[in-house]
Amino acid sequence: MNDTKLNYARTFFVGFAFLSICAFWQLYDNIIPLILSNTFGVGETLTGGIMALDNILALFLLPLFGTFSDRVNTKLGKRTPFIIAGTFFAVIFMMFIPFANKTHNFLLFFISLGVVLIAMGSYRSPAVALMPDVTPKPLRSKANAVINLMGTLGAIYTLIMIKVTISKVESPDYTMVFFMIAIIMVIAIIILVVKVRENAIAKEMAEINKNDELDATTSTSEGSKVLPHDVKKSLIFILASIFLWFTAYNAVITAFSRYAIKVWNLKGGDFADALIVATGAATISYIPIGFISSKFGRKKTILGGIILMTVSYICGAFFITYSPLINIVFAVTGIGWAAINVNSYPMVVEMVSGSDVGKYTGLYYIFSMLAQTLTPIASGALLENISYRTLFPYAVVFSVLSFCTMLFVKHGDSKPIKNSKILDEFDLNN
């Protein structure tokens, strides 16, 4: 039995869609709460509620557009038209947000933000579903490592722009940082459209995955729409795990800029340092984790990632004042999150029919977004009514719970491809 090779160049270009998405969401998570709090005087609990609006929208938009993209067929493919249209509207309307901040126009801010969130929600599932569309099943963890690597590059770009463009004043101007993120989003999608011919590649992958000999212990057959009972049970437990670890992680990420400013007295964009370290650690971890997953399995790698995340949250709780050592903690966070991200989505789509990838991509995001809807409100209430120091213990509780539910997942690890001759074309050198 010979292992096939992933076409890393092709996967790299597919990853530009995720780079665009992550660049925006890093901006959203860090800057929008500051605008709400500093410009419009919104309290912590209400800020958490407003920050959850994108996730509420996503609960409906992601499965809707994921399923819709399964059913369309255009000259550009199933997913690409959604990516182009969503990016266009997001980029146009996101530039109204810093103007609304400068003019203290909350109505313009709220309407612009709403349109941007709808635009982003319309293409996130199709963009993510593009990877399994163009990747053989057993290679999806390695491919997802590349995709997440591209995502972290987008996130790092945003953090660097936050660091260098936001002045250390009480009411900074965010126009330049929004402009720089808009530019990278446009460039990324242009590269994707030019380099990835979705229809031709997807046709090849459909034939390869059809011939892939996978039994019911790892996946349903390509023609089946109904999941076996044991596979469905595993799917339920991994979706529960996704909900729980996103509840932990998103609480920290959403509140961190405010936490660093109010607890550690950091100024301007200095809070971005720890986040840059975390995303940097994840960036250099993605590819090695893809190979580790191939050797030891997706489930074991995820469990190891949860342990790292839990340890990092526990350590974070002990930092009463800012110390450069917090960067080590966040490096561990980044590595743990990389181990989870590389493998969780491929485990979900491994269990289902190829014709349902968009649908189950939407289901994956229902649970991750439900967590991200509820956790800013719940953690925000704790921050406002009890103490900011509840942030990391809150994350520890849900991280431990995700480890427990993940133990019950029995499906989703792939087998090596037997027919290597068919797949020789997926080498990087082609």
pLDDT score recorded for residue 340: 93
What is the model's pLDDT at position 143?
Answer: 84
* pTM over cut 0.75: no
Residue 74, φ and ψ in degrees, nearest 5: -125, 175
For residue 127, give the amino acid letter.
Answer: A
The CB density around residue 213, as the number of other CB atoms within 10 Å, is 8
- Please identify which residue in the block is written with the tokens 């997440």: 148
Beta-carbon contacts of residue 40 (< 8 Å; ≥ 6 apart): 104, 106, 109
**Rounded-to-integer distance, Cα 161 and Cα 177, Å:** 6
Cα 417 to chain centroid distance, Å, stands at 27
The residue written with tokens 């509820």 in the block is: 374
Domains and CATH numbers, the chain: 8-426 (1.20.1250.20)
Question: From CA 151, how far away is CA 282, in angstroms rounded?
Answer: 10
Report CA dihedral (204, 206, 209, 211) to the nearest 10 degrees: -80
In sequence order, the β-bridge partners of residue 77 are 74
Long-range residue pairs from 381-384, CB within 8 A, at least 24 positions apart, any chain: 381/44, 381/45, 381/48, 383/44, 383/255, 383/258, 383/259, 384/43, 384/44, 384/45
Joined tokens for residue 27 = 């901006």
Residue 146: predicted pLDDT: 86
pLDDT averaged per 10 residues in sequence order, the chain, 430 residues: 68 92 90 88 78 77 81 84 94 95 93 93 84 78 83 87 78 90 96 88 69 43 62 91 95 83 76 79 85 87 96 90 85 92 86 68 84 84 86 95 95 59 37
Dist. CA 61–CA 66, nearest whole Å: 8
Write out the DSSP string of 302-354: HHHHHHHHHHHHHHHTT-SS--TTHHHHHHHHHHHHHHHHHHHHHHHHHTS-G
φ, ψ at 300 (rounded to 5°) = -65, -40
Burial 225-248 (b: 16+ CB within 10 A, else e): eebeeebeebbebbbbbbbbbbbb
For 211, residues 6+ apart whose C-beta sits below 8 A from its C-beta are: 419, 422
At 180 the pLDDT is 95
CB atoms within 10 A of CB 327: 16
- On whether the CB atoms of residues 177 and 162 are closer than 8 A, the answer is yes
CA 184 to chain centre: 17
Cβ-contact 101, 110 below 8 angstroms: no
